[in-house]
A and B are shown apart, each in its own frame.
Chain A
């Protein structure tokens, strides 16, 4: 066994996991038979078209909604057995479209990430301040730490939210579309940032995204949800399987295996 194998352990695993919602009388199944394992230091993308169940999977993995069946383990502990109070030290979230107050300074917002570790008044200890500063410098926002979030651009604010998750200092970070509302440069920048974070800090990041082309170039593993079925593997494994061929209607968008990109099919009429 190589030394690299010893270093990385399985951080998040799902076995025969079924996703969905329980309504009053009926059960709505979103995706079935999901199996995957995410190791420490891996950047994993969660890919699927709109409405395929990416958000449902993230909500299930973060304990916001219960799984229909199957099990999720974080760091070898059953997610369903973890108390709300302790969840905050295992995983942190980066979400979009939350009613986050922007009337906080960058420092204050990022410091909220220390919430699980501070006393009842939320007083920051020296260690807390150190971790907040480290998180701020990781996303290159240390000069802006006293600015109000209201004055930041969308891209900068996204970095603040990522820094908050970093300050929470959990082995696992789950992100729901961290690159929405960003231009192409900032999309690439943020994903590159995530890559740097997992490589330098031994954290694992699972992020849902529509940036398939970027994800294919950058990610260690991909979870692909396509019409209720879930595939998991490295980008090249999934390409070999032909998993991407049916993701979009073939007369509109085709997958080019050579360049590993999706391309529009230009119709001449």
Chain B
């Protein structure tokens, strides 16, 4: 479905033909599908599921239903890293040259930025146990980073500014096969860490004190979970820009459908749910029937915010 919709409309039949290696009459269509639509669909799946899983991990680690990569400032941290890279590049380009403009550099700075914020939030989270404080700290971190980005923007050229702004709109397209490869590698590594922690994530559902009493090595698992979250959210943000609400909303949406918090059931469901939601948002972003494409970040927020509000109003509290 998401393959067929786009600025150029291509019939379903021909998509299936080209996917299974059959030749179709229109070679332009085939080119669009193989080099543009297919990488984009895979990107949407990887990013949707990656962000959703990182949201789940944070909600369990913090035992807090409001945790998520965007709410806790993780995405802002990644933005800050990228802003430093793009807008500070002119200062450093003498030393590092070409490297600065590669995708690897963007990934590294985005992951580094989100890791930094995650560590800061975690260290404060251990001192304050209450939900509201943590949320406010996340908001403060977000506004702090956006302030620093503004300062950077003030001193940078219009070219760099444009580059950053387009990145921050978020986009699932424009990824070459090689970049999709890098993204799936990050996704795979991040997810492997998460799978490795599965059993201990379940123990953490009882809170850290219980988990420790059952032989969970808290420090080690906390680090594993943080690294996993940072890789997943950092790489997603690096390639597709800061995408809001997927990380927060998908775990809650899935919990409505799957009546358990057992991570062995929840994790695969959330991977699936995140992928589907992201594909849906992508289809909406294409504005079927028109030739323009909306920024994906705007679509997830327009779609995600009402869903979370509706959930809160309906249940009055988040089951979690």
CA distance A118 to B264 in the complex (A): 14
A–B Cβ pairs within 8 angstroms, 14 of them: A84-B218, A85-B215, A87-B213, A91-B213, A93-B210, A95-B207, A98-B207, A100-B207, A102-B319, A108-B262, A112-B205, A112-B206, A112-B214, A150-B319
Query: A101: which B residues are within 8 A, CB to CB?
Result: 63, 205-206, 261, 320
Q: Is A120 an interface residue, CB under 8 A from the partner?
A: yes
Q: Is B17 an interface residue, CB under 8 A from the partner?
A: no
- Bin the interface of chain A by size: 20 to 34
Q: Is A168 an interface residue, CB under 8 A from the partner?
A: yes
A100 touches B215 (CB 8 A): no
Query: B320: which A residues are within 8 A, CB to CB?
Result: 101, 103
Closest-by-CB residue of B relative to A89 is B215
A122 touches B199 (CB 8 A): yes
CA distance A85 to B199 in the complex (A): 14
A64 touches B209 (CB 8 A): yes
Query: A95: which B residues are within 8 A, CB to CB?
Result: 207, 209-210
Query: B210: which A residues are within 8 A, CB to CB?
Result: 93, 95, 98, 100
| Contact (A88, B213) CB under 8 Å given A112-B206, A115-B199 | yes
| Contact (A105, B205) CB under 8 Å given A88-B215, A116-B215 | no
CA distance A151 to B216 in the complex (A): 28
Query: B203: which A residues are within 8 A, CB to CB?
Result: 112, 115
Smallest CB–CB gap between B106 and chain A, Å?
Answer: 34
B198 touches A122 (CB 8 A): yes
B199 touches A121 (CB 8 A): yes
Contact of B215 (CB < 8 Å), options: A84, A104, A109, A120: A84
Q: Is A86 an interface residue, CB under 8 A from the partner?
A: yes
Q: Is B260 an interface residue, CB under 8 A from the partner?
A: yes
Smallest CB–CB gap between B123 and chain A, Å?
Answer: 16
Q: Is A92 an interface residue, CB under 8 A from the partner?
A: yes
Within 8 A of A (CB), among B270-320: 319-320
Q: Is B103 an interface residue, CB under 8 A from the partner?
A: no
Query: B259: which A residues are within 8 A, CB to CB?
Result: 103, 148
Closest-by-CB residue of A relative to B255 is A103
- A100-B210, A120-B198 known, 4 other contacts, Cβ within 8 Å: A98-B209, A121-B264, A150-B319, A164-B206
CA distance A153 to B147 in the complex (A): 48
B264 touches A103 (CB 8 A): no
Contact of A168 (CB < 8 Å), options: B63, B198, B209, B214: B214
CA distance A86 to B199 in the complex (A): 16
CA distance A108 to B206 in the complex (A): 11
Q: Is A113 an interface residue, CB under 8 A from the partner?
A: yes
Within 8 A of B (CB), among A109-129: 109, 112-113, 115-116, 118, 120-122
Query: A115: which B residues are within 8 A, CB to CB?
Result: 199, 202-203, 214-216
A103 touches B213 (CB 8 A): no
| Chain B proximity mask over A57-69: 1 for CB below 8 Å, otherwise 0 | 0000010100000
Q: Is A99 an interface residue, CB under 8 A from the partner?
A: yes
Within 8 A of A (CB), among B189-223: 196, 198-199, 202-203, 205-207, 209-210, 212-218
Query: B214: which A residues are within 8 A, CB to CB?
Result: 88, 92, 112-113, 115-116, 168
Within 8 A of A (CB), among B138-154: none
